[in-house]
């Protein structure tokens, strides 16, 4: 496999020119940080990703995690890699210094998460779930729960999980059957089984903190009757030391298509007297608490799609530069040409590169919006950025993970027949990427969330306002002259179509909700592609402005412009073409009856 190199130039450019990181660092919360500090953090993160995590990626895929006598063993080298990750303080990069975190902006944590996922997604899944547990306990935990668990989770001394799914329920969380019975000491006793629990058992840390959904006695049916509990693998003594083993165990590890290094556990709670748990938040309000964790996880899963696409891209570029086959049109040198000189290979590579730039822009702007929603000094701005973060989250999760699979597939295609052979490593990216569109609510669920909840915020005003914000780029693009004329035209067409699709969906909501559901997935893709076009064009204009500076990196900046123009001229027109799919109604989908689906 090719060596992974952290794409720090692109990351810094996205942070500075698209997210305007300097403005974020002016907020009181981040006064102590400056550009030099951020650069140093990213450099160190890149070294850990490239020097420690990436070399283990292939080995983790081949060896996988194993279960024997209730003990899970991760692949060789992974435990030491986690120790290096923990000792470097990387788990707490964006968390409160009062709980042993670094206190950096969330968007910097997002950038580091991209590096971990590009280098080794099987490893990166462990700290990703821990981030969600930290967010949930921070937001909803009692002072006692915070003092008991937060410091150890933030430092990575312990790890966290999210236990939602049950065999009979799948994505229908309201159908779960796990039970919680009150105990005399104020704790609860949890009984039930959960499946698909990422890093539910492992050998990285001495304790694992499970966040478990369960029903209390007499609770209402469906999601209204679900509560959330903190259930540690080992109980914690009053002095912070570990006590007895809790009544929970891993009974199986799933055999998976990819991410073999990541143990995906079947967890059994309460085989005996019941697993001791502590309620997080209020009774029957577990879904509200869990959504704090899930929304964090959804953005992080979008970053998984971005990271795996970047890893697949680097792998494909390295192969295309070395592999010689056929004669490129116009080639004059003797012998075969490097396949990078063939038009279709070049098309696939720049498709990957431009989509990655757009995905990175979306995920980072999503993280920046969360930073501003939490820390902006102006209350109205906090409210707006909170709404914007809500709007962008299903786009980040679904659009970026769909593209992660598509870009990994292109990586296989660039390798040709060798891409289908495991020894080249291209197939691993494709296999690993495939879980991300399913994680944390399938992408179809994300599309429904977008149209049913996010589009309807403030009667559609949040979407209208963001479309208006994207339209403000028009004047600047016009000033860019002929070079950006097609970019401007296609972006305006995409925004017009997005506006029309949004209006149609809002009007159809009351009359024919099934028609809205039928158009949800193409609408999400249209939205993602258009936002991606806006952000990548914004970056191209910034690059063009910098080209005139004395110390400009002309090769990098001109590459950003060329990549953005390719996206906006070759890919963005597909967004407007999705309008008939959005507004086509449900009849074409349901015209074929269930019995007719059977061959």
The pLDDT of residue 289:
85
Burial (0-12, 13-18, 19+ Cβ within 10 Å), 260: buried
Burial (0-12, 13-18, 19+ Cβ within 10 Å), 141: buried
144-162 burial, b at 16+ Cβ within 10 Å, e below that, comes to ebbebbbbbbbbbebbbbb
Which residue stretches of 395-455 are H helix? 400-415, 426-433, 443-449
The pLDDT of residue 304:
98
- For residue 15, give the 3-state DSSP assignment: helix
- Bridge partner residues of 267 (DSSP): 194, 250
Q: Cβ(133)–Cβ(293) under 8 Å?
A: yes
The pLDDT of residue 137:
95
CA separation (Å) from 564 to 169, 328, 402, 556?
43, 25, 20, 12
Contacts for 544-552: CB closer than 8 Å, 24+ residues apart: 544/480, 544/483
Distance CA 468, CA 481 (A): 22
496-524 burial, b at 16+ Cβ within 10 Å, e below that, comes to ebbbebbebbbebbeeeeebbbbbbbbbb
- For residue 518, give the 3-state DSSP assignment: helix
pTM of the model: 0.96
Tokens of 295: 């929304």
The pLDDT of residue 160:
97
Active site residues: 440
Helix (H) or strand (E) holding 343, with range, is helix 343-375
pLDDT in tens, the chain (599 residues): 569 999 999 999 999 999 999 999 999 999 999 999 999 999 999 999 999 999 999 999 999 999 999 999 999 999 999 999 999 999 999 999 999 999 999 999 999 999 999 999 999 999 999 999 999 999 999 999 999 999 999 999 999 999 988 988 767 777 789 999 999 999 999 999 999 999 999 999 999 999 999 999 999 998 899 999 999 999 999 999 999 999 999 999 999 999 999 999 999 999 999 999 999 999 999 988 877 777 778 999 999 999 999 999 999 999 999 999 999 999 988 899 999 999 999 999 999 999 999 999 999 999 999 999 999 999 999 999 999 999 999 999 999 999 999 999 999 999 999 999 999 999 999 999 999 999 989 999 999 999 999 999 999 999 999 999 999 998 778 777 788 999 999 999 999 999 999 999 999 999 999 999 999 999 999 999 999 999 999 999 999 999 989 899 999 999 999 999 999 999 999 999 999 999 999 999 999 999 999 87
């Amino acid at each position: 496999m090719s060596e992974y190199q952290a794409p720090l130039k692109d990351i810094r450019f996205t942070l500075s020119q698209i997210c305007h990181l300097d403005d974020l660092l002016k907020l009181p919360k981040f006064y102590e940080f400056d550009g030099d500090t951020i650069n140093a953090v990213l450099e160190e993160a890149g070294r850990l990703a490239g020097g420690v995590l990436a070399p283990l990626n292939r080995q983790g895929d081949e060896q996988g995690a194993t279960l024997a006598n209730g003990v899970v063993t991760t692949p060789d080298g992974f435990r030491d890699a986690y120790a290096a990750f923990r000792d470097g303080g990387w788990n707490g990069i964006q968390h409160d210094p009062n709980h042993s975190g670094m206190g950096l902006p969330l968007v910097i944590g997002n950038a580091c998460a991209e590096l971990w996922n590009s280098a080794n997604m099987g490893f990166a899944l462990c700290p990703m779930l821990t981030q969600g547990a930290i967010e949930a306990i921070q937001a909803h935990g009692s002072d006692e729960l915070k003092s008991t668990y937060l410091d150890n989770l933030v430092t990575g001394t312990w790890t966290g999980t999210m236990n939602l799914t049950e065999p009979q329920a799948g994505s229908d969380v309201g159908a779960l059957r796990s039970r919680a019975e009150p105990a005399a000491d104020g704790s609860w006793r949890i009984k039930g089984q959960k499946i698909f629990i990422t890093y539910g058992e492992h050998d990285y840390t001495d304790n694992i903190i499970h966040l478990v959904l369960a029903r209390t006695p007499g609770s209402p049916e469906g999601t209204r009757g679900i509560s959330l509990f903190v259930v540690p693998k080992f109980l914690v003594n009053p002095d912070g030391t570990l006590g007895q083993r809790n009544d929970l165990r891993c009974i199986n590890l799933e055999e998976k298509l990819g991410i073999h290094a990541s143990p995906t556990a079947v967890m059994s709670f309460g085989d005996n007297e019941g697993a001791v748990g502590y309620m997080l938040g209020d009774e029957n309000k577990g879904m509200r608490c869990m959504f704090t964790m899930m929304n964090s996880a959804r953005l992080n899963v979008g970053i998984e799609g971005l990271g795996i696409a970047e890893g697949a891209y680097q792998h494909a570029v390295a192969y295309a530069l070395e592999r010689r086959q056929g004669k490129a049109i116009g080639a004059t040198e003797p012998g075969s040409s490097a396949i990078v000189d063939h038009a279709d290979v070049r098309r696939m590579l720049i498709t990957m590169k431009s989509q990655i730039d757009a995905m990175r822009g979306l995920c980072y702007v999503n993280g920046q919006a969360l930073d501003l929603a939490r820390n902006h000094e102006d209350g109205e701005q906090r409210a707006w950025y909170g709404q914007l973060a809500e709007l962008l989250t299903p786009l980040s999760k679904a659009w970026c993970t769909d593209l992660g699979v598509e870009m990994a597939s292109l990586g296989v295609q660039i390798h040709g027949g060798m891409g289908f052979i495991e020894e080249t490593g291209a197939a691993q990216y494709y296999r690993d990427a495939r879980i991300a569109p399913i994680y944390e609510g399938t992408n179809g669920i994300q599309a429904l969330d977008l149209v049913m909840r996010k589009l309807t915020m403030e009667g559609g005003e949040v979407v209208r306002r963001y479309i208006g914000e994207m339209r403000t780029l028009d004047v600047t693009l016009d000033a860019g002259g002929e070079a950006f004329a097609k970019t401007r035209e296609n972006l305006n067409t995409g925004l017009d179509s997005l506006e029309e699709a949004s209006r149609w969906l809002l009007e159809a909501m009351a009359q024919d909700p099934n028609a809205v559901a039928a158009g949800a997935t193409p609408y999400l893709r249209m939205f993602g592609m258009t936002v991606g076009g806006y952000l990548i064009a914004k970056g191209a204009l910034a690059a063009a402005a910098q080209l005139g500076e004395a110390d400009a990196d002309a090769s990098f900046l001109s590459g950003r412009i060329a990549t953005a123009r390719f996206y906006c001229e070759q890919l963005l027109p597909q967004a407007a073409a999705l309008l008939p799919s959005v507004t086509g109604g449900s009849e074409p989908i349901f015209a074929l009856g269930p019995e007719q689906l059977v061959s």
